[in-house]
C-alpha cells in the first residue's frame, strides 16, 4: 500500500501541464470505437480509469494502437462491437461503468460489468432506471450495485427523462443509449452539468440539440471518425490552483487546461474566496475551450458556496475543503449529497481527516461546515480515494508539521506521476 509523507513547503511555483482530462479521455475512446473510420487521440490520460475503458473496447474487438504521442482507434461503426469473452472490468471508474451501461444496452450481445471493491459499492440504480424505461434489460445486485448484467438484442425506445439529480454520467448514459433507440431521446437537467458528451457527439457528426436545460438527440445516427486533442484536466489542475493560493509568495501557470463552462466551478468558488486567478491564451481546441491558468497567492476568506456552483465543481470539493481550512472565517457547503457516493464518502472522509489535523470540520447530511484556522500535522487515511489523497498532500504545504497520507495507490487512476510533478513544483512528498 502506497503512503505519502508530505512535509510543509515555503512556496510553489513554475509552469506545469497536468495530465489529460479524464472525462474527455473516457468519451474519446467510447465514441471513436463506434465511429466509422480511424480517429487519432492526443493528450489521452493514461491513468488506470481511462485505461480500463480502453481495454473494455479492445475486449469488444476494437483495434486500438497506443504510441508514445497518441492513441489510434480503428472504429467499427455503431453495430460493429463483438461480444467480449470475459466480464468487462471497470476498475475504480464510475464514469466508465455508467456510460457503458447506456452503450451496451443497445448491443446485440450480453455483457457483464464488474469493478473493484470501491466501485462495487457505488449506486448504479440511477442509470439502470432510465435504461429500463427505454426497454433495456439490466440485472444488478439486490442493492442496485455492480456486478451488472446487461442483456443485448432488446429494442430500445426513446424517452423524455428528467434527471432526479444533476449528473453528467446519468445524462451521458441515456444519450449513449439514445443512439440506439427509436425516436428522439430528451434529457432534462435540474442544473447544468459537464457537457463533454454532447460536444464530442457533435464532433463525430451527430446532431445533438441543447436548449436551456434540455438535450435532445434522434436515434439511429451514425458517427464519423475525427481527431481529438484532449486538454489538461481542470480537476487535476485544481490541486495546484489551491496550492498556489494558500502558500505565500507562490505563483503557478497551468498550461493548456480545459475551461469548459460546465467545469469551472472550482475557479468561480476560489475567486469568491479571494483567490488571484487569471486566464490567458484562451482558445478553442477540438470544440473544447482551453486556456493557461495563472494563480498567485492571496489571502482567502470563508464563504457560503452558492448551490448553483455545486454540480460545476463536484469532483474538486476535497481540495476546496483544503482551501477552506486555510481561509479566514467559516466556509459552508450545502446541496452536495452526491459527494457521499463517490469513490469514498468524501464529506465524512474529509471531515475526519481535517479534524485529525486540528481543523474544525463538521459533516452535515448534504455538505460540510469548515472553520478556517491553523493546520497541524498528523496522519490521515484517504480510504483509497485518489482526490482525497491529493487534497491532503496540498494541505501539507501550509501545515505546521508533516502529514502522512495512507492508502494512496489509487492516485494513479486519475493522475499518474502526481508526486513527481508536485515535487517539481515545490511540494515535499516522499512516496513509501
Provide the annotated active-site residues: 315
- 170 neighbors 94 (Cβ within 8 angstroms): no
Task: Give the per-residue SS3 of 264-302.
Answer: CHHHHHHHHCCCEEEEEEEEEECCEEEEEEEEECCCCEC
Q: Which residues pair with 188 in a beta bridge?
A: 162, 214
Helix or strand holding residue 13 (H, E) = strand 13-16
- Name 143's Cβ contacts closer than 8 Å, sequence gap at least 6: none
C-beta separation of 65 from 35 below 8 A: no
Contact between residue 385 and residue 367 where contact means Cβ atoms under 8 Å apart? no
All 3 cell numbers of residue 113?
460489468
Q: Are 421 and 18 in contact (CB under 8 A)?
A: yes
Query: To 10 degrees, what angle do helices 317-325 and 234-246 make?
Result: 0
CA-based Rg of the chain, rounded to a whole angstrom? 21
Amino acid at each position: 500500500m502506497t503512503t505519502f509523507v508530505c512535509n510543509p513547503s515555503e512556496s510553489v511555483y513554475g509552469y506545469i501541464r497536468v495530465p489529460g482530462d479524464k472525462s474527455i479521455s473516457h468519451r474519446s475512446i467510447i465514441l471513436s470505437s463506434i465511429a466509422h473510420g480511424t480517429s487519432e487521440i492526443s493528450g489521452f490520460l493514461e491513468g488506470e480509469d481511462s485505461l480500463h475503458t480502453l481495454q473494455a473496447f479492445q475486449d469488444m474487438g476494437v483495434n486500438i494502437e497506443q504510441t508514445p504521442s497518441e492513441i489510434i482507434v480503428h472504429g467499427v461503426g455503431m453495430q460493429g462491437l463483438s461480444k467480449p469473452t470475459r466480464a468487462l472490468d471497470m476498475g475504480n471508474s464510475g464514469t466508465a461503468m455508467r456510460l457503458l451501461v447506456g452503450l451496451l444496452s443497445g448491443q446485440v450481445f450480453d455483457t457483464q460489468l464488474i469493478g473493484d471493491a470501491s466501485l462495487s459499492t457505488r449506486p448504479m440504480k440511477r442509470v439502470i432506471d432510465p435504461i429500463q424505461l427505454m426497454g433495456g434489460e439490466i440485472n444488478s445486485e439486490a442493492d442496485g450495485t455492480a456486478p451488472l448484467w446487461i442483456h443485448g438484442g432488446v429494442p430500445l425506445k426513446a424517452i423524455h427523462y428528467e434527471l432526479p439529480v444533476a449528473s453528467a454520467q446519468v445524462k451521458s448514459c441515456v444519450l449513449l443509449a439514445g443512439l440506439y433507440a427509436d425516436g428522439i431521446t430528451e434529457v432534462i437537467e435540474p442544473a447544468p452539468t459537464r457537457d463533454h458528451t454532447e460536444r464530442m457527439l457533435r464532433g463525430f457528426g451527430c446532431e445533438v440539440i441543447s436548449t436551456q436545460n434540455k438535450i435532445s438527440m434522434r436515434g439511429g445516427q451514425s458517427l464519423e471518425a475525427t481527431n481529438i486533442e484532449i486538454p489538461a484536466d481542470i480537476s487535476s489542475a485544481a490541486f495546484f490552483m489551491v496550492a498556489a493560493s494558500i502558500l505565500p509568495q507562490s505563483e503557478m501557470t497551468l498550461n493548456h487546461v480545459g475551461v469548459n463552462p460546465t467545469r469551472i466551478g472550482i475557479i468561480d468558488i476560489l475567486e469568491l474566496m479571494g483567490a488571484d486567478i487569471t486566464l490567458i491564451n484562451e482558445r478553442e481546441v477540438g470544440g473544447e475551450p482551453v486556456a493557461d491558468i495563472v494563480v498567485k497567492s492571496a489571502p482567502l476568506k470563508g464563504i457560503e458556496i452558492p448551490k448553483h456552483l455545486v454540480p460545476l465543481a463536484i469532483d474538486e470539493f476535497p481540495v476546496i475543503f483544503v482551501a477552506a481550512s486555510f481561509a479566514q472565517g467559516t466556509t459552508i457547503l450545502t446541496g452536495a449529497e452526491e459527494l457521499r457516493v463517490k469513490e469514498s464518502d468524501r464529506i465524512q472522509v474529509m471531515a475526519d481527516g481535517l479534524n485529525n489535523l486540528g481543523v474544525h470540520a463538521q459533516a452535515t447530511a448534504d455538505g460540510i461546515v469548515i472553520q478556517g484556522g491553523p493546520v497541524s500535522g498528523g496522519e490521515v487515511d484517504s480510504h483509497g480515494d485518489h482526490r482525497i489523497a491529493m487534497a491532503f498532500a496540498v494541505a501539507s504545504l501550509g501545515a505546521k508539521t508533516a502529514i502522512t497520507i495512507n492508502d494512496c495507490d489509487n492516485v494513479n487512476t486519475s493522475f499518474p506521476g502526481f508526486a513527481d510533478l508536485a515535487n517539481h513544483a515545490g511540494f515535499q512528498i516522499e512516496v513509501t
